Amino acid sequence: METTELIDILSRGEDSRHQFKADITNVDALAAEIVSFSNTSGGRIFIGVNDDGSVRGLSGADLARLNQLVANAASQNVRPAVNPVTENVPHPAGAVMVITLADGVNKPYMDKNGTIWVKSGSDKRRATSREEIQRLFQQAGLVHADETPVAGLGAGDVDMSYFEGFFEQQFGEPLARHNQPLPQLLANMNLMTQGQLNVAGSLLFAKAPQYVLPAFIVKAVAFAGNEIEDERYIDSRDISGKLADIFQQTVGFTIANTRADQGEQGVNSQGQSEIPRIVWEELVANALIHRDYFISAPVRVLVFLNRVEIISPGHLPNNLTIENVKAGNSNMRNPILASFASKLLPYRGLGSGLLRALRAWPSIELNDDRVGNLFKVVISRAEVQR
C-alpha cells in the first residue's frame, strides 16, 4: 500500500471494512477483531491510527512486537486459525501497520473462549441468535436450511396423491410397487431427517406446510401508485401451500396485475403480457429456491405502476456478487430444494435463469443488500395512469 492510498483511506474514517487502533497490547482483544472480520466480509485493521483517523505512528520496536502479536493471535487464539497479511506503511507521522483479513471460508470463526464475533458497522459484537450462527455454518457449506427437520411434520403429513404422481413420473413405476416403507423412502430421497420431514420435504410435499412454516410464503400486493406507503391497493394475497403451488399462484398474480397488450389482436383475445412470462417464471423460481430459509420472513412481490419488486430474505451467499451472477455463476444455498425444483418447476439450476430473464427483459435491476440481509430484483415497466 502506498502512503497516498493510506491517507485516502484514513480520511474516510472507520466502517465495517476498516478499523483504526492506536495500539494493541492484548492478544485476546486482537483475536476478537480478527474473528469479527473473518466472520463478516474481511477487511483491514490499521494500527498506529487514532479513532479520528490521525496517525499516531509506530516505532520499529512497536512493529516487531505487533507482528509477533498478530502471529500468535491468528494461530493460537482464533479457531480455526487464519492467515492475515501484515504490511508496514510509511507515513509522515510514523509507520502504520495494516493487517489485511480475508472473508473466511471456514466460518464460523471464534476466539479461544468459543465466542463468535461479527462486525456491526465499524464495531464488533457477539453473535448470539441461533439463526445468525446457523447462517455462518451455512456460508461454510456445513449446514443447509432446507435439510433442517421440521418439528410436528412426519410421513403422515405428506400429500400422498401428489407424491405418488411425482414418484411415478420420475421413476416410471407406481409407488405401490415400491416395497420400501414410506419413511425410509423419504429419508433416502433427502426429504426426511431424524424421523421428521425436513424443510425441503415439507415445502415440496406436505399437505399444508404453511401451518407449521407460516413465514415461508409469498406476500403479494399490487399498489395503485408507486409508493409502498400508499394505502390504496388493487390486489393483496398471502400465497401459501406447496412450493409448486406458490410458484404458479405467484406467477399468476404478477401477470394478472400487469397489463396485457392486445396489439393487432381482436378485443376478445387475451393479448400478450406486458412483460414476457418467462421473466416472472425465472425470477419467482429463483426467489423461492435460493432464498435463505434460516430467516423467518416471506418472499415479497410488490407491483407498482412503474415497477415490480421481488424481495427475497437473505443476501447473495458466500462470495457471489451481482456481477458474477450476471455472468452465470450460481451457488446452491438449498441443494435439496434445487435438485427437486428442476423436476417440479421450470427451473434448470445452471445459473442461466437470470440470464434468460435479462435477455427477455433487459430492464431488470439487482440489489444485494448485505446490511438488510435481503436480495431485491426490480423489474421496470412502462408507467401508465390507471
Average pLDDT over residues 135-153: 83
In this structure, the number of other CB atoms found within 10 A of the CB of residue 329 comes to 12
**DSSP for residue 37:** H
pTM equals 0.72
Over residues 317-345, the pLDDT tens digits come to 766 788 888 887 777 789 999 999 888 88
What pLDDT band is residue 127 in, cutting at 50, 70 and 90?
confident
Sign of the alpha-carbon dihedral angle for 307, 310, 316, 320: negative
Q: Of 80, 82, 110, 93, which Cα lies nearest the Cα of 46?
A: 93
Looking at this protein, which amino acid is placed at residue 196?
Q
> Which burial class, exposed, middle or buried, applies to 100 when counting CB atoms under 10 A from its CB (0-12, 13-18, 19+)?
middle
Locate CATH 3.30.950.30 in the chain: 3-127
Going by C-alpha positions, the residue among 305, 304, 260, 251 that lies closest to residue 279 is 251
pLDDT of amino acid 87: 96
pLDDT band with cut points at 50, 70 and 90 for residue 262: very low
CATH 3.30.565.60: which residues of the chain?
218-380
Name the DSSP letter for residue 22. S
Cα–Cα distances (Å) from 203 to 144, 211, 232, 252, 348, in that order, read 15, 11, 32, 19, 19
Please provide the average confidence, as pLDDT, over all residues in the chain: 90
> Is pLDDT above 70 for 225?
yes
pLDDT at residue number 231: 79
pLDDT reported for residue 326: 84
Q: Kindly calculate the radius of gyration of the chain based on its CA atoms and give it in whole angstroms.
A: 26
pLDDT at 41: 84
218-380 has which fold? Heat Shock Protein 90 (3.30.565)
Buried-state track 270-281, b at ≥16 Cβ within 10 A, e below 16 = eeebebeebbbb
Whether 386 shows a pLDDT value over 60: the answer reads no
Report whether pLDDT(209) > 60.
yes
CA distance 249 to 254: 9
Residues whose CB is less than 8 angstroms from the CB of residue 303 and which lie 6 or more positions away in sequence, other chains included: 220, 221, 222, 223, 234, 235, 253, 254, 257, 258
User: What average pLDDT does range 89-110 have in this prediction?
Assistant: 93
Which residues have a Cβ under 8 Å from the Cβ of 316 and sit 6 or more positions away?
A: 322, 325, 331, 368, 375
pLDDT band at 349 (very low <50, low <70, confident <90, very high): low
What pLDDT shows up at residue 331?
73
What is the pLDDT at residue 385? 47
Find, among 350, 379, 357, the residue nearest to 366 by Cα.
379
Alpha carbon 91 to its chain's center: 40
pLDDT of residue 327: 81
Cell numbers linked to 260: 396485457
User: How far apart are alpha carbons 184 and 289 in whole angstroms?
Assistant: 25
Q: Name the CATH superfamily, with its identifier, for domain 3-127.
A: Schlafen, AAA domain (3.30.950.30)
147-183, pLDDT tens digit by residue? 999 999 999 999 999 999 999 999 999 999 888 999 9
Instruction: Using DSSP, state whether 208 is helix, strand or coil.
Output: coil
How many angstroms separate the CA atoms of 54 and 318, rounded?
Answer: 34
Residue 21 has pLDDT above 50, yes or no: yes
Is 269's pLDDT higher than 60? no
pLDDT tens per residue, range 70-87: 999 999 999 999 999 999
Alpha-carbon distance of 261 to 239, in angstroms, equals 26
Strands 85-89 and 96-101 come out as: antiparallel
* Stretch among 25-29, 49-53, 144-148, 350-354 having the lowest mean pLDDT: 350-354
How far apart are alpha carbons 40 and 204 in whole angstroms? 32
pLDDT of residue 99: 97
pLDDT tens per residue, range 290-320: 999 989 999 999 999 999 999 999 988 766 7
Question: How confident is the model at residue 270, as a pLDDT?
Answer: 56
Q: What is the mean pLDDT of residues 208-236?
A: 93
Check whether 142 has a pLDDT greater than 70: no
Percent of the chain with pLDDT over 70: 93
